[in-house]
Structure 1
Amino acid sequence: MSWYPEVLNGSVRRVVATAQNGLEVVRLGGLETEARPSEFRVVERKPMYRLRRYFSDAAADTSRPPVVLVPPMMMSADVYDVAQDQGAVGVLHGMGLDPWVVDFGSPATEDGGWRRTLADHIVAIDEIVDLVHAQTGRDVHLAGYSQGGMFAYQAAAYRRCKNIATLITFGAPVDTLAALPFGIPAGVATRTADFLADHVFNRLAVTGWMARTGFQLLDPVKTAKSRLDFLRQLHDREALLPREQQRRFLATDGWVAWSGPAVADVLKQFIAHNRMMSGGFVIGDRLVSLAELTCPILAFVGEVDDIGQPVAVRGIRKAAPKAEIFETTLRAGHFGLVVGSLAASQTWPITGEWVRWRDGLGPRPESIDEMTYEEQPATETGVSVSDRLLHTGASIAEVGVGVTKGVFDVTTQAVRGSRELSAEAVRALPRLVRLGQIQPHTTISLGKLLAEAGAKSPKAECFLFDDRAYTNDAVNTRIDNVVKGLISTGVRPAARVGVLMETRPSALTAIAALSRIGAVVVLIPPTGDMDTAARLGKAEMVITDPDNLRAAESLDLKVLVLGGGESRVLDIEPGSETIDLEQIDPSRVHLPAWYRPNPGRANELAFVLFGRFGGHVEAKHVTNHRWALSAFGTATAANLGRGDTVYSVAPLYHSSVLLATLGGAIAGGSRIALSRGLDPERFATEVHRYGVTVVAYTWTMLRELVDSPDFALDASHPIRLFVGSGMPRGLWLRTMKRFEPAQVLEFYASTEGAVVLANVSGAKPGAKGRPLPGSTSVRIAAYDPISGTFLEDERGLVRECGVDEVGLLLGQATGSEAISGAVRGVFGAGDAWVPTEHLFRRDGDGDFWLMDDKNVVVRALRGPVYGQPIVDALGGLDQVDLAVVYGVLAGDEELAVAAITLRPGSSLTAVDLADSFADLAPGARPDLVHVVPEIPISNSYRPRRSELVAAGLPAPSVRSWFYDPDKDGYRRLTRAVLTELRERGSRALTS
């Protein structure tokens, strides 16, 4: 038993060593090591940051490429210098680089720290890049770890990559919703992030210990393993010392507090709305998109990183399509990418090699590859199940735990989304409930919904214009100030006030301010017939912008001028009654006792719109209920939410913009992006910069984008939906192909009454779909378009059309509408229906198809010929750009003529025409078809027939054809055939 004292002595020594080391840990927070941080000098101090330059003795060496390292918001800047021989700054300096580190400090110890925002961090990095560039004379390599990498991306995009040589990120997620920790469903994450941003972090900050604990809980197995390892080896000081600096940093020293506003910004913009992918995130009031990154990028990807998961990190490939992007994949977790032996041996040497290569000082590193991006199923994160099991299994074996995060991950991946309530249903239900609760005397208006949005989310963005974002709070403040100015000039509830303005923020403000007063907005198009519109709308005065001042003054009405920018110069003649609203001080206006904001009731008139029908301008009257129906209906059908940005190119005075685009965005809580006009280059830029997810269109507007050879918008665009009305079927098909996977949501809405149809599924291009929930009941009444009369049954009631029978679309009159023109006793005694102007059919599935305007149906001897089926059939030909159908008198009847334009480089034959009309009955086909150089387009992008009708029958040519019933096909139109047509009418075609 001679060995017994030796064992006893060894055990005693072990116990004593454990006790001594443990006491040192308790007293000092860890073991004392001989490691010292690298030498640095603070070259700039500001309330937001301190800028460290390491190894300043080498600062005079201008051959060293500068590398600026950005830490995450929650970690100390020392993450890049945990140990000099293994830390980033030491390794990079040893490779001939010039390392700089951004130190944001802790909000808990900095003046105003708890009020820091995301924008403060980005603007600070922007300043730092300028400063380093000025001091070194070289472009900067900007690098960041985790959230610091996100900051680097954002700052580079903010400054359009100016003076940035390359970007380097380590475990920095971009597509944050593609792969969330613990397999959290995206819908749950977005709603939770929105709630926390709006109701928690606007009042609460995250302390350092909370940040540390939160991240340790993200990987509890690894945390437990590290602690057990430390305790087991507490007796062996030599074994612990090499990793002691790293342990102390991750366990205690490395964590700093987060300011509440900054956390709220990150949650809202990059979790709830995922705007690093879609674009349109806001820094200050500027809109920014990663799509504008053009400098080379190197992204480090951790194979077993469950925080910056591979799919989320690789999102940069899709988000920044213009950049040259590389990646390096390491078998590391989130912290292992930048701290520890693997980082020292691989991460930092590869980073140094990358910088030297891009600066022309060395070869391309062998361990980097060009990054590719593949769409992943919702259940995939990029961390393979085998990797996760191996990684977690090793931890299980060492720690000895049963239920682990890894097993939980694998399980949750298999059932991801199975417990998630449909986001569409969650958003749609309250809207439909509110719509159903609207009664004639319910207060509802555009101004009221904007006020509600401001009360709910004052700091959320309301609308975007000229690369600037305007919050709900700022917009409502501006509206209230304009309200005071308008009241001081005599505007009262129910007053009819014209708005003659271009699409700009001041126009939206004017419309909303009039709504807030309860006045009627008369939207006068600034394109001819202004006198007629003002007269039909019974305008008492007019609000205009400086650009339309002269036109407004010609209307012989009191003129109020609003907006125009800081450089506005008004040329108001002396003695004129024109009033500059911008010169009225709102603080000096005393509001009268009658004023109550947003008094508009559902059955009251809200807007007067104008359209050209049969060559004449007609006024259309829209109540608050009709506007709300379109607003909530669009928001529901398009599934609009707070993460959407709705882009409007068409003018505000267009009915679909006011009712669907503007209304839908407000009702859905989405951002509204206004544009100065349709231009392919501007469109491509603004879609990315604003993060546009929904594009509003009218009629043929999208032609200029789909068919433009210079239109540069690649597949990385964020657009998910096009919403509007009147799009031809052929253009619809081309749009879906050009903007895949985006879909088209086509609406049909009667301006007066409450008929709203929507093709929600998009499965039948060309169809108008079905009635929206909340809209009025619709029926198709049997109707003779030749005589313009309803067809009755044996009881004297109007007969309802059967499947595929063409008739006049009617909407049931509701108590919420002040309707003139309702027809009573239609399908039953005492009922009331409002006729639309359009003929429809309903197919066997219940979908409605527009056939024609009842006033332009071609009245041929063989019966009515409807234009829309012909236009749809021609739209199926790839060669055809646009088509219109109209009637031309020849002899004693009308001939149905189809005029078409061809796409560039295309040609058309009689065989093509026969193929396109194969599904139309002979009597439904056009008598004549001809190719024209151009089809006139209105300001709302609607094809016009009037000029073509005035030109009469088409001239004989190789691109004009007539229908020959004997051959059941089309033949070239000759002079002889044309002469016979003129003499005998279309009977020549059937004789």
Structure 2
Amino acid sequence: MLNGSVRRVVATAQNGLEVVRLGGLETEARPSDFRIVEREPMYRLRRYFPDDVSDSAGTPRPPIVLVPPMMMAADVYDVTQEQGAVGILHSMGLDPWVVDFGSPATEEGGWDRTLADHIVAISEIVDRVHKHTGQDVHLSGYSQGGMFAYQAAAYRRCRGVASLVTFGSPVDTLAALPFGIPGDIAAPAADFLADHVFTRLSIAGWMARTGFQLLDPVKTAKSRFDFLRQLHDREALLPREQQRRFLAQDGWVAWSGPAVAELLKQFVVHNRMMSGGFVIGDRPVSLAELTCPILAFVGEVDDIGQPAAVRGIRRAAPRAEIFESTMRAGHFGLVVGSLSASHTWPTTGAWVRWRAGLGPSPDGIAPMIAEDLPEAETGVSVTDRLLHTGASMAEVGVGAVRGVLGATAQAVRGSRELSAEAARALPRLVRLGQIQPHTRISLGKLLAEAGQRSPRGECFLFDDRAYTNESVNVRIDNVVKGLIACGVRPSTRVGVLMETRPSALVAISALSRMGAVVVLLPPTEDLREAVRLGRVATVISDPDNLRTAETLGPPVLVLGGGESRVLNLEPGSETVDLERIDPDAVELPAWYRPNPGRANELAFVLFGRFGGEVEAKHITNHRWALSAFGTATAANLGRGDTVYSIAPLYHSSVLLATLGGAIVGGSRIALTRGLDPERFATEVHRYGVTVVAYTWTMMRELVDSSDSGLDASHPIRLFIGSGMPRGLWLRTMKRFAPAQVLEFYASTEGAVVLANVSGAKPGSKGRPLPGSTQVRIAAYDPVTGRFLEDDRGLVRECRAGEVGVLLGQATGAEAVSGAMRGVFGAGDAWVATEHLFRTDSDGDHWLMDDKNSVVTALRGPVYGEPIVDALGGLDQADLVVVYGVTVGGEEIAVAALTLRPGTSLTAADLADALAELEPGQCPDLVHVVPEIPISNSYRPRRGALRAAGLPNPGVRAWYYDAGRDGYRRLTRAVLTDLKQRGSAALTG
């Protein structure tokens, strides 16, 4: 016994001395043979077993590229030749390649590496391996390396990629974070680290090693204890010594600060592997573009790449065929150790052979099914943890702590979310409340502030390209210099006639930055009238609208058009190409101060058609700011949002709500070339669109299209806009569930902004936004066009349910004209809108009609919007308009509607749809028409139908029989009687 004890002590001392001197026990193991085939500043590309790249029959082996995590050495795939990845894969007939990024600490420029550098490098490696082998590549990666593989394959849209294989690689990072940290706590923390820590600090290799060991302290402690306990038994330790040394010491490399910051920002703070829209270089990318087969290895007890996070790929890549292989393993056990040697790598090899047509499908894989776990679940059960570690008491303690933390997180989740919303909303409302008439506030100023806060943050996306805040502001400043060189000064009214494109946004912003007035010219037949009403001194055009612009009279400046721009200016033309002006050659005059616009100064002139006439609406900086801050608050816009406008820039809701709200919220703006269902689906995924801005009936084409290509995995959470009919609203929510609709009403003059924030009452315009002016509904007679007064001579305020004109209180910050004085009290001032409203018992506002569109029937006024809402609720209905037709000196109410394809309409359908309306508010006639014209902003037009007069009799036209309280088919006899006797003919 004594000799045995002495030998044990001596052996322990000898082995311990060897560990201290060499870092571990000498195993005599040698790495697998490899050759560095490609050497670049970002990487070295290893080809293992380079002299054996084909089988015995001379058939080339299928190539597989293995990508390590950013913080781990490439040798993770070759810890031992017998149990390492490259050795096993080669023995199964594959051609293994490994990416070696080296360490930032030893590579030139390593500390400046970005996440995009790694993705672009992997994409380049795919091309090079393809060139060497002549075959598509099976791209694989462990942990973060698998994330890289996903991103690189999506970046190149799977070109040259035969399949993807990942090991413990999270996709839905916020679904399951290490230690069970709630996502709504982790995201703000990661945001702070990305902005304020990793911009100045990188992570050394020892820091990475320590951090990952702390992620599973029980297993780390147990491993060290087992090693010390067996230190006397060299033969027992040697089989696992290479693995131990790799994980404990040799396998870790440094992380560059910019790469870590970008990873945290894009994939933790904004979770853009799930939503799409992560940016590589200047290109937005989405995993929804993955189409190649995918095999994901899931560790049942992996607390780093937790099952719920790994299985996020199922929702993020809906077009791909995705399989999974589950293992009772932790994060490192997936790729290193005996279990990986017996399961991970043989399964991987069999997968590649199957996909290459060289063998059957491997055992142990199954199609991945997206499962909806409870919010507190991550997919790793306490039981699995207990069985995995063997340290029961310790693990129960850890599990109990996690359970307490999870319960606590669940209990306070609601209050935390409310606090997060309040934290965003409060500063916006405070700033809005502090705006005084001479406060400097403008679109240009807010863009400049965004550039100062986050120069490298993305400002907007267009044509598969991302533009940073810094580049956008530089472009704006350069255009400002060009405008100054052309004689534009503060307060100059400049017309903007441009399609939706980056240069249009830049032109608007540049004019705002120098204090000029932006006159947004809609490309319609009323351009000359708009130029006259807007008192336009100069026109900025893009090449597409140049010929039209030159016919309007004022001098023309041309901006943008892309690389293919061809102006073909006539000889002697006075048109100026702003792109040819060298900004460095322009000397700024003494009067120039950037962003001088004050709250009470005119900023924009917009146009609308009211009563058949074009009218100019004047928007001050304060009015713009009110909509911008209000939209950002109501829609809870933040830096993780991408706001996608399918409406043209010249539309008032886009300028006031979409652009303004996104800028205030720090959200990205995504622009599109036009409304097309296929383009919409592609760009929603590629840009990671979370909020879609619409106008009027714009959503029709997207809701009804069978080619939209969007399923329940889409990232959209909200549609915002104005004018959407109730029926289309309901169809939109059904088609794009669980997304909601946030409908606004904003008067173009004054400061009235209503919003249906809750979405609980489709069709309602909601209530005034915080910061909006006080609103009231004034009693009004639409027949005489007069306000109704009380016995004191003041205008009477409407009761709930009573219809009147919506008024907004005039404020000193608004440069309004024509304010009404002495309305509800002596000396007060109110601005009347053009619209009639009522409120319900809850105080929500409902639009009833335009003042000029009310049908003044003999029985009293008939309001159009309730009819549109009622008929639009029919499943068969597409568009609905209501208008008046004069017959025998009186006006009758006519409703026209179009039907959705393959549907028909009956009198019983009409009766059911209109049953909730009072008989006096039902339309006299209803008829189906083949088409209802819509304007450029997608607003249904009724002028042509009104001008056509009464509808033709037939099976698609009905009249309201008041005596029977129902609808009957409109016959020629009834129509003749109607023309002779007027509405009396409809009562029988």
TM interval, shorter chain, is over 0.9
Q: In structure 2, which of residues 919, 939, 944 is the aligned counterpart of residue 942 of structure 1?
A: 939
Alpha-carbon deviation of 1:659? Answer: 0.5
Does the Cα contact within 8 Å between 1:646 and 1:670 map onto a contact in 2?
yes
> How far apart, in 2, do the equivalents of 1:220 and 1:142 lie?
32
Alpha-carbon deviation of 1:829? Answer: 1.1
Does the Cα contact within 8 Å between 1:892 and 1:984 map onto a contact in 2?
no
> How far apart, in 1, do the equivalents of 2:178 and 2:825 lie?
61
Are 1:15 and 2:9 counterparts?
A: yes
Q: In structure 1, which of residues 57, 73, 83 is the aligned counterpart of residue 51 of structure 2?
A: 57
Alpha-carbon deviation of 1:192? Answer: 1.4
1:500-530 deviations in Å (ceiling 9; x for gaps)? 1111100000000000000000011122211
Q: In structure 1, which of residues 783, 797, 812 is the aligned counterpart of residue 794 of structure 2?
A: 797
Matched to 1:225, the amino acid is: K
Q: In structure 2, which of residues 831, 835, 843 is the aligned counterpart of residue 834 of structure 1?
A: 831
Q: Which residue of 2 aligns with 1:677?
A: 674
Matched to 2:363, the amino acid is: E
Alpha-carbon deviation of 1:959? Answer: 0.6
Alpha-carbon deviation of 1:733? Answer: 0.7
Q: Which residue of 2 aligns with 1:395?
A: 391
> How far apart, in 1, do the equivalents of 2:429 and 2:410 lie?
25
Does the Cα contact within 8 Å between 2:873 and 2:913 map onto a contact in 1?
yes
Alpha-carbon deviation of 1:381? Answer: 0.6
Alpha-carbon deviation of 1:395? Answer: 2.1
> How far apart, in 2, do the equivalents of 1:599 and 1:874 lie?
49
Are 1:870 and 2:867 counterparts?
A: yes
Are 1:48 and 2:42 counterparts?
A: yes
Are 1:813 and 2:813 counterparts?
A: no
Are 1:312 and 2:309 counterparts?
A: yes
Q: Which residue of 2 aligns with 1:528?
A: 525
Does the Cα contact within 8 Å between 2:69 and 2:145 map onto a contact in 1?
yes
Mapping 1:732-771, distance limit 5 Å:
732-771=729-768
Q: Which residue of 2 aligns with 1:184?
A: 181
Q: In structure 1, which of residues 53, 70, 74 is the aligned counterpart of residue 71 of structure 2?
A: 74
> How far apart, in 1, do the equivalents of 2:193 and 2:600 lie?
38
Does the Cα contact within 8 Å between 1:385 and 1:410 map onto a contact in 2?
no
Does the Cα contact within 8 Å between 1:221 and 1:396 map onto a contact in 2?
no
Q: Which residue of 2 aligns with 1:109?
A: 106
1:148-196 deviations in Å (ceiling 9; x for gaps)? 0000000111111111111000000001111111121212221112211
Q: Which residue of 2 aligns with 1:689?
A: 686
> How far apart, in 2, do the equivalents of 1:340 and 1:415 lie?
37
1:830-856 deviations in Å (ceiling 9; x for gaps)? 111111111011001111100000110
Alpha-carbon deviation of 1:396? Answer: 4.3
Q: Which residue of 2 aligns with 1:213?
A: 210
Q: Which residue of 1 aligns with 2:403?
A: 410
Mapping 1:542-581, distance limit 5 Å:
542-581=539-578
Matched to 2:391, the amino acid is: S
Q: In structure 1, which of residues 331, 334, 338 is the aligned counterpart of residue 335 of structure 2?
A: 338
Q: In structure 2, which of residues 279, 285, 288 is the aligned counterpart of residue 288 of structure 1?
A: 285
Q: Which residue of 2 aligns with 1:3?
A: none
SS of corresponding position for 1:923: helix
Higher mean Cα deviation, 288-297 or 189-198?
189-198
Higher mean Cα deviation, 978-987 or 474-483?
978-987
Matched to 1:538, the amino acid is: R
Are 1:607 and 2:604 counterparts?
A: yes
Alpha-carbon deviation of 1:409? Answer: 2.3
Alpha-carbon deviation of 1:671? Answer: 0.4
Are 1:124 and 2:121 counterparts?
A: yes
Mapping 1:103-182, distance limit 5 Å:
103-182=100-179
Q: Which residue of 2 aligns with 1:241?
A: 238
Are 1:482 and 2:479 counterparts?
A: yes
SS of corresponding position for 1:652: coil
> How far apart, in 2, do the equivalents of 1:538 and 1:290 lie?
49
> How far apart, in 1, do the equivalents of 2:631 and 2:977 lie?
51
Alpha-carbon deviation of 1:385? Answer: 3.1
Matched to 1:59, the amino acid is: V
Does the Cα contact within 8 Å between 1:389 and 1:407 map onto a contact in 2?
no
SS of corresponding position for 2:867: helix
Does the Cα contact within 8 Å between 2:555 and 2:574 map onto a contact in 1?
yes
Matched to 1:94, the amino acid is: S
> How far apart, in 2, do the equivalents of 1:987 and 1:893 lie?
11
Q: Which residue of 2 aligns with 1:630?
A: 627
Alpha-carbon deviation of 1:60? Answer: 4.7
Does the Cα contact within 8 Å between 2:386 and 2:396 map onto a contact in 1?
no
1:355-406 deviations in Å (ceiling 9; x for gaps)? 11111111111200000002222211111232234445x2245xxx588543
Alpha-carbon deviation of 1:979? Answer: 1.3
Q: Which residue of 2 aligns with 1:665?
A: 662
SS of corresponding position for 1:205: coil
Does the Cα contact within 8 Å between 1:185 and 1:417 map onto a contact in 2?
no
Q: Which residue of 1 aligns with 2:248?
A: 251
Unaligned 5+ segments in structure 2 are none
> How far apart, in 2, do the equivalents of 1:788 and 1:855 lie?
9
Are 1:505 and 2:499 counterparts?
A: no
Unaligned 5+ segments in structure 1 are 1-6
Does the Cα contact within 8 Å between 1:40 and 1:55 map onto a contact in 2?
yes
1:866-905 deviations in Å (ceiling 9; x for gaps)? 0000000001110111100000001121000000000000
SS of corresponding position for 1:265: helix
Does the Cα contact within 8 Å between 1:221 and 1:404 map onto a contact in 2?
no
> How far apart, in 2, do the equivalents of 1:406 and 1:214 lie?
20
> How far apart, in 2, do the equivalents of 1:522 and 1:861 lie?
42
Are 1:228 and 2:187 counterparts?
A: no
Matched to 1:665, the amino acid is: A
Over the aligned positions, Cα root-mean-square deviation in angstroms equals 1.2
1:662-715 deviations in Å (ceiling 9; x for gaps)? 111101100000000001111111111111111000000010111123322222
Does the Cα contact within 8 Å between 1:440 and 1:603 map onto a contact in 2?
yes
Are 1:987 and 2:984 counterparts?
A: yes
> How far apart, in 2, do the equivalents of 1:388 and 1:772 lie?
50
Q: Which residue of 2 aligns with 1:424?
A: 421
Q: Which residue of 1 aligns with 2:718?
A: 721
Matched to 1:271, the amino acid is: V
SS of corresponding position for 1:986: helix
1:433-479 deviations in Å (ceiling 9; x for gaps)? 11111111111000000000000000000000000000000000000
> How far apart, in 1, do the equivalents of 2:356 and 2:51 lie?
22
Q: Which residue of 2 aligns with 1:656?
A: 653
Structure 1 residue ranges, 4+ long, deviating more than 6 angstroms after superposition: none
Alpha-carbon deviation of 1:230? Answer: 1.1
> What is the aligned residue count?
981
Does the Cα contact within 8 Å between 1:562 and 1:582 map onto a contact in 2?
yes
Alpha-carbon deviation of 1:419? Answer: 4.7
> How far apart, in 1, do the equivalents of 2:792 and 2:987 lie?
38
Alpha-carbon deviation of 1:146? Answer: 0.3
Matched to 1:35, the amino acid is: A
> How far apart, in 2, do the equivalents of 1:453 and 1:191 lie?
18
Does the Cα contact within 8 Å between 2:494 and 2:516 map onto a contact in 1?
yes
> How far apart, in 2, do the equivalents of 1:132 and 1:60 lie?
15
> How far apart, in 2, do the equivalents of 1:395 and 1:129 lie?
43
Alpha-carbon deviation of 1:653? Answer: 0.5
> How far apart, in 2, do the equivalents of 1:718 and 1:644 lie?
10
Q: Which residue of 1 aligns with 2:962?
A: 965
> How far apart, in 2, do the equivalents of 1:365 and 1:901 lie?
55
Calculate the TM-score normalised by the size of structure 2: 0.98
